[in-house]
Structure 1
Amino acid sequence: MATERVVSVDARRVRRVHAVLVLLSFSAGAADAFAFLALGGIFTANMTGNLVLIGMFSRPEFAQTLVTALIAIVSFVGVLYAAFRLTVPTGALPVTQRHTLRRLVLPSLVLQTLVVAIWAALRGDVGMVERCIVISLSAAALALQTVAAKKLSDIEGVTTTYVTGTLTTTMHDLAVRSAHGQGLRVLSVVALPVGAVSATAALLLAAELCPVVAWLPAVAAAILLLSTSRP
């Protein structure tokens, strides 16, 4: 009976973590759509897209795209490195779910809240300096989410800020007739465009509230699931 109870608790914990990963994918899709539509046509989660944009020198207003894309990349990469360093296991002690929540997901929420506050204060009247600040904060928040997803996931190939690797692993496992983790991968992939739809609709209906509607509820729900899930 005790063993069954432990297995049941562990299964619930895994399901909660999987739900968190899907929510973070939704959040990344919403953040990228918001950045692309409202912050000058760049991304704050999809750095592959930004690298491609940097090379599109014939694009109108390329100088602005170059600057903002570089800011997003530098912010994302810098925070990514810092987050991985911050969560390196010490000795025999692993990085726990609680550490991931406290050191990665909560700071990500703080940064996204700053984005919301700045966007609301500007009321859509975003100059170049303000745009760069918002992009930097959003990219940093998404970098923290990326590391959090890597630390939390027990399924290979699940990412929350880009899906090329997820799609590759999904197709590989389909080819070799493996079903392990396929459900989570599919949900993670689907959540990304659903988040983008949410942000796009929010921009059309209530532009000033877009960041609040689009991704803060998803990250808040992820934090709630993590904080109530005992490792």
Structure 2
Amino acid sequence: MPERIESYLTDAIYRNIMILLLCLTAGIVDVIGYLSLDHVFTANMTGNIILLGLAIGNSFQTAILNSLTALAGFITGVILASAIVTNKEKTFWPPAVTTVLAVEGAVLLLFALLSYFAVSASFPYLLIILLSIAMGLQTTAARKLGIAGISTTVLTGTLATFFEDFTARFFGGGKKKGFTTDALLRAAALVLYCSGAVIAALAEPSYQFTIIWLPIAIIIGIIILAVTRFHNALEKD
């Protein structure tokens, strides 16, 4: 029994690291879209909806099409992931989540390959929809894992929940003054997402689209780890 508990804790740490790395990939992808694809968010749909509203209010037709394309891609990714991941799987790391991440990796790989071609008048829309599909897939996969309420792409709620917990623990009059694991994970998610944005912001001006290979590598690593470590221990949930 002690060995099994130790193994479970080790697996939980690995799983937490994997979800945080997905936050890093989302930060990178969002900045790629914003800097290199006409200032559109492909992961953060809250920001994208704001951009859509601004574009409509100012009659910016190109910006409207960019935002609508990103929304359509994200919704497509969520629907596709929801069709793959069912509520019947209640394991520590459902195999369907790995499948969704594999599809996401394939979509990002297609984006990386197509980004080497000259961009025509309609080509940016294809790149936008590919990135947003990938982020829709990732969002649903992360939500299925249910780790500290982290979705990897929607961090407004994560930020609010972290400071709600902070307030309750330090100003709520309780005896506990430390942070829970979930609170620390939420803080780390925010940091990793921002770090991804910083990495992409530094790389994109000189190496347009090249930084996309980092999220691809991360996702491949997560898939390999999930297959080798989790799929043979489904009873650990």
- For Structure 1 versus Structure 2, the TM-score category normalised by the shorter chain is 0.7 to 0.9
- Quickly say closer, same or farther: Cα 1:69–1:58, change in 2 above 3 A: closer
Moved over 4 A (4+): 58-61
1:118-144 residue CA offsets vs partner (Å, 9 max, x unmatched): 012x2xx42331111111111111111
Query: Which residue identity is paired with 2:40?
Result: I
Residues 1:136 and 2:129 are matched in the alignment: yes
2:97 to 100, 104, 115: 100
Separation in 1, partners of 2:95, 2:228 = 10
1:69 to 62, 67, 70: 67
Residues 1:197 and 2:198 are matched in the alignment: yes
1:170 counterpart residue number? 162
Deviation, structure 1 residue 23: 0.7
Is the contact between residue 21 and residue 160 of structure 1 (CA under 8 Å) also seen in structure 2? yes
2:82 counterpart residue number? 84
Q: Summarize the alignment of residues 8-47 of structure 1 with structure 2, pairs less than 5 Å apart.
A: 8-47=6-45
Question: Could you tell me the percent identity over the aligned residues?
Answer: 25
Separation in 1, partners of 2:109, 2:101 = 12
Deviation, structure 1 residue 208: 5.1
Query: Which residue identity is paired with 1:118?
Result: L
Deviation, structure 1 residue 60: 7.8
Deviation, structure 1 residue 59: 8.2
Deviation, structure 1 residue 162: 2.0
Separation in 1, partners of 2:56, 2:103 = 37
Residues 1:111 and 2:130 are matched in the alignment: no
Over aligned residue pairs, what C-alpha RMSD do you find?
2.0
Q: Aligned to 2:55, what secondary structure does the other structure show? A: coil
Query: Which residue identity is paired with 2:226?
Result: L
Q: Aligned to 2:123, what secondary structure does the other structure show? A: helix
Deviation, structure 1 residue 81: 2.5
Is the contact between residue 18 and residue 153 of structure 1 (CA under 8 Å) also seen in structure 2? no
Query: Which residue identity is paired with 1:135?
Result: I
Separation in 2, partners of 1:31, 1:128 = 22
Deviates more, 1:68-77 or 1:30-39: 68-77
- Normalising by structure 1, we get a TM-score of 0.88
1:23-66 residue CA offsets vs partner (Å, 9 max, x unmatched): 10000000000000000000110111111111113888821110
Is the contact between residue 56 and residue 64 of structure 2 (CA under 8 Å) also seen in structure 1? no
2:147 counterpart residue number? 154
2:217 counterpart residue number? 217
Separation in 1, partners of 2:32, 2:81 = 24
Deviation, structure 1 residue 159: 2.2
5+ residue gaps, structure 2: 170-175
Residues 1:7 and 2:5 are matched in the alignment: yes
2:172 counterpart residue number? none
2:119 counterpart residue number? 126
Q: Aligned to 1:205, what secondary structure does the other structure show? A: coil
Deviation, structure 1 residue 170: 0.5
Q: Aligned to 2:205, what secondary structure does the other structure show? A: helix
5+ residue gaps, structure 1: none
- Normalising by structure 2, we get a TM-score of 0.86
Deviation, structure 1 residue 202: 1.8
